[in-house]
């Protein structure tokens, strides 16, 4: 039985269990590819793949964040939701008041 030690992922890249790299067929403009190569040569990342992956992950994270905030905005504009939240707030005001004593106020 051999014991293999797992090499740590290069800095800046996380391995997520069974999520191996995949070669893709995406194309970018020559100027973008050249800029990525120069950035890596200047030490921005350990490889062009790592640089591009990090940029894509950042963009996807921002997309998810925008979706969440758009959902918050939609909820805030929904009269039924706002009415329900007001009711919850009023219920908690009573609860908070119950915990106060004469010396706290």
Given a contact cutoff of 8 angstroms between Cβ atoms, the answer to whether 52 and 36 are in contact is yes
pLDDT of residue 17: 76
Burial of 54: CB neighbours in 10 Å, binned 0-12, 13-18, 19+: middle
> Is residue 2 predicted with pLDDT exceeding 50?
no
What pTM was estimated for this model as a whole? 0.62
Section 38-52 average pLDDT: 98
User: Average pLDDT of the chain?
Assistant: 85
pLDDT of residue 94: 76
pLDDT of residue 104: 52
- Domain segments of the chain: what residues? 30-96
């Amino acid at each position: 039985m051999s014991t293999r030690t797992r090499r740590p992922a290069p800095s800046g890249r996380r391995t997520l269990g069974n999520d191996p790299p995949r070669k893709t067929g995406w194309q970018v403009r020559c100027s973008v590819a050249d800029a990525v190569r120069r950035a890596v040569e200047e030490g921005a990342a350990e490889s062009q793949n790592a640089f591009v992956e990090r940029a894509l992950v950042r963009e996807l994270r921002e997309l998810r964040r925008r979706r969440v905030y758009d959902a918050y905005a939609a909820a805030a504009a929904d009269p039924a939701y706002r009415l329900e939240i007001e009711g919850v707030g009023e219920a908690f005001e009573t609860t908070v008041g119950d915990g106060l004593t004469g010396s706290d106020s």
